[in-house]
C-alpha cells in the first residue's frame, strides 16, 4: 500500500535523524570526547548518512513489498524473524529512551513538578494515535510541522552565533584519536535513529526521479545543521558543557544581551519538544510494524497497544530516570547499536546486490 509521498518520506527522514540530536546527544558525546566531540559527531553522522543511503536505495529497488516480505524472501522466515527481533530490541530501547528523554526535557525546561503518569498517559495516547493512523497520517502531520521545525532550528542556531569564537576547543586531536572514538562509542546509540526508515519500504509512492539523491541531499543538509548546532554549542559553552544535560534548554537561555526577550528563544525548545514527539510517533509506528508479524494480526491496533504497554511498563519501572538510561547507553546500547547498524548496512547491501543479480538474469 502506497501511503506517503517522496517529500513526506524525506521529511520523516529529516525529523527522525534530528531526534535527540539537539537535546541529550551533545552532552553524552562531550563526556567521552571533550574537545574533539564535534569530530565524533561528524563521524557518527557520516555513518548515519551511509545507512540512510543504503536504506533509500533498498526502498527504491523494492517498491512492491514491505520489509517483512522482503526479508522473508531473501533470508527465509527464520532469518526474517531473527532480524525483526534485533530490530525490535533496538527500537524498543530507542522508544523507551525517547519517552524518558521527553519527560526529563519537560521537567527540566518547563515544569516544577510533573507527575510521570500525567505525562505518560497523554503522550502514549497521542503517539499511539498517530502511529495507529499509519504512515500517511504521520507523513502529513510532519509536512505541516516541518516549516515550524525549520524555524526552530534556525532560532536554535542563530541565537548564539554572535558568541562564536571558533577556537574555544582548539587545538583538536591533542590526545590523538582516542577521545574522539570514546565520544563516538558513547553516543553511537543516537546515530542509529535512521534504522527505522527501513519500515517505510514499499510504502512510498516514488513519483520523483532522483529519489535517492534528493533524500541524500536533504539528510546531508540536516547533518550539516546538526554539525553546525553542535559546533556552535561546544564553541560557546566550552568546558562548562559538563554542567549541561539538555543542550537546547541551556542553549536557549544563554543569550546575555537581551535579558527580557531571551525567553522568545524558548519557542525553539518547545518546537524541539514537538519534534521529539513526532519522531517518537515514528518509533511507535515501527514498533507496531515489527510486532505485527509476531502477533499474526492484520490490524495495527493490537500490535501498537501491546508494544506501548510494554514500553510503558519498562519506562514506569525505570521511573523515567534518565541517568539509568545514560549508563545503559554508554555501556551497552551504543555498542549494540553500532553492531546493529553494521548488520543493517550488510543486509541492505545484500538486498541491493541480490536484486541486481536477479534483474540481470531477468534481462538476459
Partner 1 sequence: MEIMEDLKKRIEYFKQKFNNTSDFASREISTKNGTKIAIIYIENIIDKALLSGSVILTLQNIEVSQKQNIYDLAKSQIIAYTKVSEPADEETMLENILNGFCAILFENTEKVLVVECAKWIIRTPAEPPLSAVVEGPREGFVEDFITNITLIRKRLKSKNLKVDQMQIGKESSTQIRILYLKDVADPKIVEKIKHKLNEINIDGIVDSHYITEFLNTSKHSVFKQVGTTEKPDIAAAKIMEGRVVIIVDGSPIVLTLPYILLEDLQSSNDYYTTPARATFLRILRLSAAIVGILLPGLYIALLTHHIKVIPVKLLITISNSIQGIPLPPLLEILFIIFLFEILYEASLRMPRYMGLALSVVGALILGDTAVQAGLVSPPAVLIVAITGVMSYTLPEQSTQISFLRLIFTIIGGFMGIFGIIIGVLFLIGYLVNMDSYGSPYLAPFAPYIKSDLKDGMRRRGYPQMTTRPESIPNINHRRQKSERNND
Partner 2 sequence: MSKNLFNKIVLFAVVFFLILLAPSAINTPSQTAVRAICTGLAIDKGTENQQVEVTAQILIPEAGGQYTQKVSLVTHDGNSLEDALERMAYQVGKKIRFAHCCYIILSNELCQDNVALTLDYLMRGNNLGNNTLLIHTDKKAKELLNLTTNINSNEVDNLQVITKFNEKFLFNRGANLKSFYADYLSPHQTSYMANITVQEETADSSTSGSGSESSSSSGSGGEQGGASGAGTPPVVDKLTTDGSIAIFYKGKCASILSFEEREYFSWLDNNVYNTLMQIQGVTDQELVDATLSFTIAQKRLKWQFDIVNGTPTIKINYDLGLRPEMIIQGNGTSLPVYNNYISEAVQNAVASQVSNAVQSAMKIQKEHGFDVFNFYKSFNIKCHNEWQKYLQSLDDKENYMQNIEVFTEVSCHNTV
Q: Which three cell numbers stand for residue 39?
A: 569530530
Region 69-108 residues binding partner 1, contact defined as CB under 8 A: 106
Question: Considering only CA atoms, which of 124, 128, 131 is closest in space to residue 103?
Answer: 124
* Whether the Cβ atoms of residue 54 and residue 61 lie closer than 8 Å to each other: no
DSSP 241: G
Q: Site for partner 2 (CB under 8 A): which residue of 254, 294, 312, 335? A: 254
- Specify the residue, 217 or 301, whose C-beta has the smaller distance to partner 2: 301
Q: Which three cell numbers stand for residue 68?
A: 517483512
Q: Which three cell numbers stand for residue 250?
A: 541551556
Query: Which uninterrupted H or E stretch holds 187?
Result: helix 178-187
Q: CB neighbours (10 Å) of residue 312?
A: 17
Q: Site for partner 2 (CB under 8 A): which residue of 250, 284, 290, 330? A: 250
> Can residue 300 be called a binding residue for partner 2 (CB under 8 A)?
no
Q: Site for partner 2 (CB under 8 A): which residue of 1, 64, 112, 363? A: 112
Question: Considering only CA atoms, which of 267, 295, 293, 308 is closest in space to residue 130?
Answer: 308
CA geometry: angle at 190 spanning 185 and 192, to 5°? 95
* Residues recorded for the chain: 364
Q: Which three cell numbers stand for residue 27?
A: 552532552
Distances (CA, A) of 338 to 143, 167, 319, 335: 30, 31, 27, 5
Region 146-205 residues binding partner 1, contact defined as CB under 8 A: none
Cα(195)–Cα(94) distance, rounded to whole angstroms?
11
What's the min distance (Å) between Cβ of 169 and partner 1?
31
What's the min distance (Å) between Cβ of 189 and partner 1?
25
Among partner 1, partner 2, none, what does residue 2 contact (CB within 5–8 Å per kind)?
Answer: none
Q: Which stretch binds partner 1 (CB under 8 A): 25-33, 93-101, 139-147, 159-167?
A: 139-147
Q: Site for partner 1 (CB under 8 A): which residue of 119, 199, 211, 234? A: 119
Residue 343 CA neighbour count, 13 Å, CB half: 17
Q: Site for partner 2 (CB under 8 A): which residue of 64, 78, 243, 362? A: 243
> Can residue 260 be called a binding residue for partner 1 (CB under 8 A)?
yes
* Whether the Cβ atoms of residue 168 and residue 238 lie closer than 8 Å to each other: yes
> Can residue 332 be called a binding residue for partner 1 (CB under 8 A)?
no
Q: Site for partner 2 (CB under 8 A): which residue of 255, 314, 339, 352? A: 255
Note the residues at the interface with partner 2 (CB under 8 A).
Answer: 107-108, 112, 118, 121-122, 125, 163, 167-168, 170-171, 174, 237-240, 242-243, 250, 253-257, 259, 262, 301
Note the residues at the interface with partner 1 (CB under 8 A).
Answer: 5, 7-8, 106, 110-112, 114, 118-119, 122-123, 125-126, 129-130, 133, 136-137, 139-141, 143-145, 260-261, 263, 266, 270, 273-274, 277-278, 281
Amino acid at each position: 500500500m502506497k501511503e506517503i509521498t517522496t517529500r513526506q518520506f524525506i521529511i520523516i527522514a529529516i525529523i527522525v535523524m534530528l531526534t535527540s540530536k539537539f537535546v541529550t546527544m551533545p552532552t553524552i558525546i562531550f563526556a567521552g570526547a571533550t574537545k574533539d566531540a564535534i569530530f565524533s559527531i561528524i563521524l557518527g553522522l557520516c555513518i548515519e548518512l551511509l545507512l540512510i543511503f543504503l536504506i533509500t536505495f533498498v526502498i527504491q529497488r523494492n517498491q512492491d513489498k514491505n520489509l517483512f516480505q522482503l526479508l522473508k524472501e531473501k533470508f527465509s522466515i527464520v532469518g526474517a524473524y531473527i532480524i525483526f527481533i534485533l530490530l525490535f530490541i533496538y527500537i524498543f530501547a530507542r522508544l523507551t529512551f525517547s519517552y524518558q528523554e521527553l519527560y526529563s526535557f519537560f521537567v527540566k525546561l518547563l515544569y516544577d513538578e510533573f507527575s510521570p503518569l500525567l505525562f505518560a498517559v497523554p503522550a502514549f495516547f497521542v503517539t499511539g494515535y498517530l502511529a495507529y493512523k499509519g504512515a500517511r497520517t504521520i507523513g502529513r502531520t510532519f509536512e505541516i510541522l516541518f516549516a515550524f521545525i525549520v524555524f526552530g532550528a534556525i532560532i536554535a542556531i542563530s541565537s548564539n552565533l554572535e558568541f562564536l569564537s571558533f577556537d574555544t576547543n582548539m587545538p583538536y586531536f591533542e590526545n590523538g584519536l582516542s577521545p574522539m572514538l570514546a565520544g563516538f562509542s558513547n553516543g553511537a546509540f543516537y546515530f542509529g535513529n535512521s534504522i527505522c526508515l527501513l519500515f517505510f519500504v514499499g510504502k512510498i509512492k516514488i513519483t520523483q526521479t532522483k529519489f535517492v539523491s534528493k533524500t541524500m541531499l536533504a539528510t546531508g543538509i540536516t547533518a550539516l545543521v546538526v554539525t553546525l548546532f553542535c559546533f556552535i554549542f561546544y564553541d560557546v559553552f566550552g568546558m562548562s558543557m559538563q554542567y549541561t544535560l539538555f543542550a537546547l534548554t541551556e542553549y536557549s537561555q544563554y543569550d546575555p544581551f537581551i535579558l527580557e526577550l531571551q525567553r522568545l528563544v524558548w519557542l525553539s525548545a518547545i518546537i524541539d519538544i514537538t519534534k521529539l514527539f513526532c519522531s517518537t510517533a515514528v518509533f511507535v509506528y515501527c514498533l507496531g510494524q515489527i510486532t505485527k508479524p509476531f502477533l499474526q494480526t492484520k490490524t495495527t491496533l493490537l500490535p501498537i497497544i501491546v508494544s506501548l504497554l510494554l514500553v510503558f511498563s519498562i519506562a514506569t519501572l525505570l521511573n523515567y530516570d534518565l541517568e539509568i538510561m545514560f549508563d545503559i547507553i554508554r555501556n551497552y546500547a551504543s555498542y549494540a547499536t553500532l553492531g546493529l547498524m553494521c548488520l543493517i548496512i550488510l543486509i541492505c547491501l545484500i538486498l541491493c546486490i541480490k536484486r541486481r543479480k536477479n534483474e540481470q538474469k531477468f534481462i538476459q
